[in-house]
Structure 1
Protein backbone atom coordinates (compact mmCIF):
# COMPACT_ATOMS: atom_id res chain seq x y z
CA UNK A 1 0.00 0.00 0.00
CA UNK A 2 1.22 3.48 -0.87
CA UNK A 3 0.24 6.63 0.98
CA UNK A 4 1.27 10.08 -0.18
CA UNK A 5 0.64 13.37 1.58
CA UNK A 6 -0.03 16.97 0.74
CA UNK A 7 -0.81 19.93 2.94
CA UNK A 8 -2.36 23.35 2.63
CA UNK A 9 -2.59 26.47 4.74
CA UNK A 10 -4.84 29.50 4.24
CA UNK A 11 -4.28 32.79 6.02
CA UNK A 12 -7.12 35.28 5.96
CA UNK A 13 -10.59 34.37 4.78
CA UNK A 14 -12.47 34.39 1.51
CA UNK A 15 -11.21 36.34 -1.47
CA UNK A 16 -8.67 38.21 0.64
CA UNK A 17 -7.06 35.03 1.99
CA UNK A 18 -3.81 33.61 0.71
CA UNK A 19 -2.92 29.95 0.73
CA UNK A 20 0.13 27.76 0.28
CA UNK A 21 0.19 24.13 -0.77
CA UNK A 22 3.00 21.59 -0.33
CA UNK A 23 3.58 17.98 -1.31
CA UNK A 24 5.43 15.20 0.46
CA UNK A 25 8.05 15.04 -2.30
CA UNK A 26 8.80 18.74 -1.96
CA UNK A 27 8.10 19.42 -5.66
CA UNK A 28 5.47 21.83 -4.40
CA UNK A 29 6.75 23.67 -1.35
CA UNK A 30 4.65 26.53 -0.04
CA UNK A 31 3.33 27.14 -3.57
CA UNK A 32 0.81 29.99 -3.50
CA UNK A 33 -2.88 29.44 -4.15
CA UNK A 34 -6.02 31.41 -3.49
CA UNK A 35 -9.00 33.08 -5.10
CA UNK A 36 -6.91 34.97 -7.65
CA UNK A 37 -4.88 31.91 -8.70
CA UNK A 38 -8.10 29.93 -9.05
CA UNK A 39 -10.37 32.45 -10.76
CA UNK A 40 -7.87 35.04 -11.96
CA UNK A 41 -4.39 35.01 -13.39
CA UNK A 42 -2.25 35.62 -10.32
CA UNK A 43 0.86 33.37 -10.24
CA UNK A 44 0.35 30.17 -8.28
CA UNK A 45 -1.69 27.02 -8.55
CA UNK A 46 -5.22 25.87 -7.79
CA UNK A 47 -6.99 22.61 -6.97
CA UNK A 48 -8.39 22.09 -10.49
CA UNK A 49 -4.96 22.51 -12.10
CA UNK A 50 -3.49 20.00 -9.65
CA UNK A 51 -6.30 17.52 -10.36
CA UNK A 52 -5.77 17.97 -14.12
CA UNK A 53 -2.05 17.25 -13.77
CA UNK A 54 -2.74 14.25 -11.53
CA UNK A 55 -5.34 12.83 -13.93
CA UNK A 56 -3.17 13.33 -17.04
CA UNK A 57 -0.15 11.71 -15.40
CA UNK A 58 -2.11 8.83 -13.84
CA UNK A 59 -3.91 7.96 -17.09
CA UNK A 60 -0.71 8.23 -19.16
CA UNK A 61 1.20 5.94 -16.80
CA UNK A 62 -1.67 3.42 -16.71
CA UNK A 63 -1.80 3.40 -20.51
CA UNK A 64 1.97 3.02 -20.76
CA UNK A 65 1.93 -0.04 -18.51
CA UNK A 66 -1.09 -1.52 -20.33
CA UNK A 67 0.64 -1.11 -23.70
CA UNK A 68 3.81 -2.71 -22.34
CA UNK A 69 1.70 -5.56 -20.95
CA UNK A 70 0.21 -6.05 -24.44
CA UNK A 71 3.71 -6.52 -25.86
CA UNK A 72 4.52 -3.04 -27.16
CA UNK A 73 7.90 -1.65 -26.20
CA UNK A 74 8.16 1.66 -28.03
CA UNK A 75 6.05 4.77 -28.25
CA UNK A 76 5.27 8.24 -27.03
CA UNK A 77 2.19 9.30 -25.08
CA UNK A 78 1.29 12.96 -24.47
CA UNK A 79 -1.86 13.69 -22.48
CA UNK A 80 -3.48 16.93 -21.42
CA UNK A 81 -6.46 17.13 -19.08
CA UNK A 82 -9.00 19.93 -18.84
CA UNK A 83 -10.87 19.97 -15.54
CA UNK A 84 -14.15 21.90 -15.52
CA UNK A 85 -15.36 23.69 -12.39
CA UNK A 86 -19.04 24.66 -12.61
CA UNK A 87 -21.23 26.73 -10.31
CA UNK A 88 -23.43 24.46 -8.18
CA UNK A 89 -25.90 26.33 -6.00
CA UNK A 90 -23.90 28.43 -3.55
CA UNK A 91 -20.71 26.52 -4.30
CA UNK A 92 -18.89 24.78 -7.11
CA UNK A 93 -18.51 21.23 -8.44
CA UNK A 94 -15.88 19.64 -10.61
CA UNK A 95 -18.09 18.25 -13.36
CA UNK A 96 -15.65 16.99 -15.97
CA UNK A 97 -12.10 15.94 -16.70
CA UNK A 98 -11.45 15.79 -20.44
CA UNK A 99 -8.33 13.83 -21.35
CA UNK A 100 -6.76 14.51 -24.75
CA UNK A 101 -4.10 12.04 -25.85
CA UNK A 102 -1.59 12.19 -28.67
CA UNK A 103 0.04 8.79 -29.09
CA UNK A 104 2.63 7.19 -31.28
CA UNK A 105 2.77 3.40 -30.89
CA UNK A 106 4.46 1.68 -33.83
CA UNK A 107 2.72 -1.45 -35.06
CA UNK A 108 -0.47 -1.23 -32.99
CA UNK A 109 -3.88 -1.84 -34.52
CA UNK A 110 -6.09 1.25 -33.98
CA UNK A 111 -8.97 -0.83 -32.57
CA UNK A 112 -6.62 -2.54 -30.08
CA UNK A 113 -5.19 0.84 -29.08
CA UNK A 114 -8.66 2.31 -28.56
CA UNK A 115 -9.63 -0.60 -26.29
CA UNK A 116 -6.44 -0.40 -24.24
CA UNK A 117 -6.78 3.40 -23.90
CA UNK A 118 -10.45 3.16 -22.87
CA UNK A 119 -9.53 0.59 -20.21
CA UNK A 120 -6.72 2.82 -18.89
CA UNK A 121 -9.13 5.79 -18.74
CA UNK A 122 -11.70 3.79 -16.80
CA UNK A 123 -9.26 2.15 -14.42
CA UNK A 124 -6.52 4.62 -13.56
CA UNK A 125 -6.86 5.47 -9.84
CA UNK A 126 -7.55 9.17 -10.44
CA UNK A 127 -10.39 8.38 -12.88
CA UNK A 128 -11.88 6.13 -10.23
CA UNK A 129 -11.77 8.81 -7.53
CA UNK A 130 -13.36 11.57 -9.62
CA UNK A 131 -17.08 12.03 -9.20
CA UNK A 132 -17.30 13.68 -12.61
CA UNK A 133 -17.65 12.85 -16.27
CA UNK A 134 -14.35 11.55 -17.63
CA UNK A 135 -13.87 11.71 -21.39
CA UNK A 136 -11.02 10.76 -23.71
CA UNK A 137 -10.15 11.87 -27.20
CA UNK A 138 -7.05 10.63 -28.92
CA UNK A 139 -4.88 10.85 -32.00
CA UNK A 140 -2.81 7.79 -32.86
CA UNK A 141 0.21 7.95 -35.12
CA UNK A 142 1.58 4.55 -36.18
Structure 2
Protein backbone atom coordinates (compact mmCIF):
# COMPACT_ATOMS: atom_id res chain seq x y z
CA UNK A 1 0.00 0.00 0.00
CA UNK A 2 1.29 3.48 -0.87
CA UNK A 3 1.87 5.88 2.00
CA UNK A 4 -0.41 8.47 0.40
CA UNK A 5 -3.24 6.00 -0.13
CA UNK A 6 -6.23 6.61 2.14
CA UNK A 7 -7.08 3.79 4.54
CA UNK A 8 -10.35 5.45 5.50
CA UNK A 9 -12.19 8.59 4.44
CA UNK A 10 -15.12 10.38 5.98
CA UNK A 11 -16.84 13.64 5.24
CA UNK A 12 -18.21 15.72 8.11
CA UNK A 13 -20.70 18.50 7.38
CA UNK A 14 -21.97 21.41 9.43
CA UNK A 15 -24.25 23.77 7.55
CA UNK A 16 -26.02 25.32 10.55
CA UNK A 17 -23.24 26.58 12.86
CA UNK A 18 -24.12 26.03 16.51
CA UNK A 19 -27.88 26.16 15.95
CA UNK A 20 -28.48 22.83 14.28
CA UNK A 21 -26.60 19.64 13.69
CA UNK A 22 -23.43 18.25 12.19
CA UNK A 23 -23.37 14.93 10.41
CA UNK A 24 -21.26 12.39 8.60
CA UNK A 25 -22.20 11.81 4.98
CA UNK A 26 -23.17 8.15 4.43
CA UNK A 27 -20.92 5.77 6.38
CA UNK A 28 -22.86 5.07 9.57
CA UNK A 29 -25.21 8.02 9.36
CA UNK A 30 -23.83 9.81 12.42
CA UNK A 31 -25.87 12.93 13.17
CA UNK A 32 -25.01 15.10 16.17
CA UNK A 33 -27.09 17.96 17.55
CA UNK A 34 -24.82 20.97 17.96
CA UNK A 35 -25.07 23.78 20.49
CA UNK A 36 -22.93 26.62 21.74
CA UNK A 37 -20.73 26.05 24.78
CA UNK A 38 -21.84 29.48 25.90
CA UNK A 39 -25.42 28.21 26.22
CA UNK A 40 -25.12 25.17 28.53
CA UNK A 41 -28.90 24.88 28.91
CA UNK A 42 -29.23 23.95 25.22
CA UNK A 43 -28.91 20.27 24.34
CA UNK A 44 -26.18 19.26 21.92
CA UNK A 45 -22.45 18.84 21.54
CA UNK A 46 -19.97 21.62 20.90
CA UNK A 47 -16.52 21.72 19.26
CA UNK A 48 -14.72 21.48 22.61
CA UNK A 49 -16.54 18.26 23.45
CA UNK A 50 -16.00 16.79 20.00
CA UNK A 51 -12.28 17.62 20.08
CA UNK A 52 -11.98 16.07 23.55
CA UNK A 53 -13.76 12.91 22.43
CA UNK A 54 -11.61 12.63 19.30
CA UNK A 55 -8.36 12.98 21.30
CA UNK A 56 -9.44 10.65 24.12
CA UNK A 57 -10.71 7.96 21.74
CA UNK A 58 -7.74 8.06 19.38
CA UNK A 59 -5.10 8.00 22.12
CA UNK A 60 -6.90 5.25 24.08
CA UNK A 61 -7.25 3.14 20.93
CA UNK A 62 -3.55 3.59 20.20
CA UNK A 63 -2.65 2.59 23.77
CA UNK A 64 -4.91 -0.43 23.43
CA UNK A 65 -3.03 -1.56 20.31
CA UNK A 66 0.37 -1.02 21.97
CA UNK A 67 -0.67 -2.94 25.08
CA UNK A 68 -2.11 -5.80 23.03
CA UNK A 69 1.22 -6.08 21.22
CA UNK A 70 2.93 -6.45 24.60
CA UNK A 71 0.38 -8.97 25.88
CA UNK A 72 -0.93 -6.51 28.47
CA UNK A 73 -4.64 -6.43 29.28
CA UNK A 74 -6.03 -3.03 28.30
CA UNK A 75 -7.10 -1.15 31.42
CA UNK A 76 -5.92 2.32 30.48
CA UNK A 77 -8.09 5.41 30.56
CA UNK A 78 -7.61 8.73 28.79
CA UNK A 79 -9.31 11.94 29.87
CA UNK A 80 -9.12 15.19 27.97
CA UNK A 81 -9.99 18.60 29.36
CA UNK A 82 -10.67 21.29 26.76
CA UNK A 83 -10.97 24.93 27.72
CA UNK A 84 -11.98 27.75 25.40
CA UNK A 85 -10.10 30.96 26.17
CA UNK A 86 -9.64 34.36 24.62
CA UNK A 87 -6.42 35.18 22.81
CA UNK A 88 -5.23 38.17 20.78
CA UNK A 89 -7.02 36.93 17.65
CA UNK A 90 -10.33 35.72 19.09
CA UNK A 91 -10.54 32.36 20.82
CA UNK A 92 -8.27 29.37 21.37
CA UNK A 93 -8.53 25.90 22.84
CA UNK A 94 -6.33 24.73 25.70
CA UNK A 95 -6.19 20.92 25.76
CA UNK A 96 -5.01 18.92 28.78
CA UNK A 97 -4.65 15.19 28.13
CA UNK A 98 -4.22 12.81 31.05
CA UNK A 99 -3.67 9.08 30.75
CA UNK A 100 -3.77 6.45 33.47
CA UNK A 101 -2.05 3.14 32.69
CA UNK A 102 -2.58 0.85 35.69
CA UNK A 103 -0.63 -2.31 36.49
CA UNK A 104 2.40 -1.18 34.45
CA UNK A 105 5.68 0.11 35.91
CA UNK A 106 5.97 3.91 35.73
CA UNK A 107 8.91 3.98 33.29
CA UNK A 108 7.25 1.47 30.96
CA UNK A 109 3.90 3.29 31.18
CA UNK A 110 5.57 6.58 30.22
CA UNK A 111 7.27 4.89 27.26
CA UNK A 112 3.92 3.49 26.12
CA UNK A 113 2.26 6.91 26.43
CA UNK A 114 5.08 8.63 24.54
CA UNK A 115 4.90 6.00 21.79
CA UNK A 116 1.10 6.24 21.63
CA UNK A 117 1.32 10.01 21.37
CA UNK A 118 3.76 9.69 18.46
CA UNK A 119 1.43 7.23 16.67
CA UNK A 120 -2.07 8.59 17.38
CA UNK A 121 -3.22 10.67 14.38
CA UNK A 122 -5.08 13.20 16.55
CA UNK A 123 -2.07 13.62 18.84
CA UNK A 124 0.16 14.14 15.80
CA UNK A 125 -2.26 16.75 14.49
CA UNK A 126 -2.12 18.65 17.80
CA UNK A 127 1.59 18.14 18.51
CA UNK A 128 3.81 21.18 18.75
CA UNK A 129 0.96 23.34 20.00
CA UNK A 130 1.87 25.13 23.23
CA UNK A 131 -1.77 24.90 24.32
CA UNK A 132 -1.72 21.08 24.38
CA UNK A 133 -0.25 19.02 27.23
CA UNK A 134 -0.11 15.27 27.69
CA UNK A 135 0.75 13.64 31.00
CA UNK A 136 0.75 10.26 32.69
CA UNK A 137 -1.17 10.38 35.98
CA UNK A 138 -2.16 8.18 38.89
CA UNK A 139 -5.17 10.40 39.64
CA UNK A 140 -7.14 12.50 37.17
CA UNK A 141 -7.48 16.25 37.69
CA UNK A 142 -9.37 17.03 34.46
TM-score of the superposition, structure 1-length normalised?
A: 0.76
Answer whether contact 1:54 1:126 (CA < 8 A) is retained: yes
Higher helix share: 1
Gaps of 5+ in 1: 12-16
Q: For the aligned residues, what is the CA RMSD? A: 2.2
Confirm whether residue 129 of structure 1 aligns to residue 125 of structure 2.
yes
Gaps of 5+ in 2: 1-5
Confirm whether residue 7 of structure 1 aligns to residue 13 of structure 2.
yes
Deviations 1:28-68 (A, max 9, x none): x1x32233xx2121110111100100000000111111122
**Deviation for aligned residue 1:121:** 2.2
Give the paired residue count: 127
Aligned partners of 2:88 and 2:122: how far apart in 1? 26
1:39-78 alignment, distance < 5 Å: 39-41=38-40, 42-69=42-69, 71-78=70-77
SS in 1 for 2:77: strand
SS in 2 for 1:118: helix
Confirm whether residue 19 of structure 1 aligns to residue 23 of structure 2.
no
TM-score of the superposition, structure 2-length normalised?
A: 0.76
Which residue number in structure 1 is paired with residue 98 of structure 2? 100
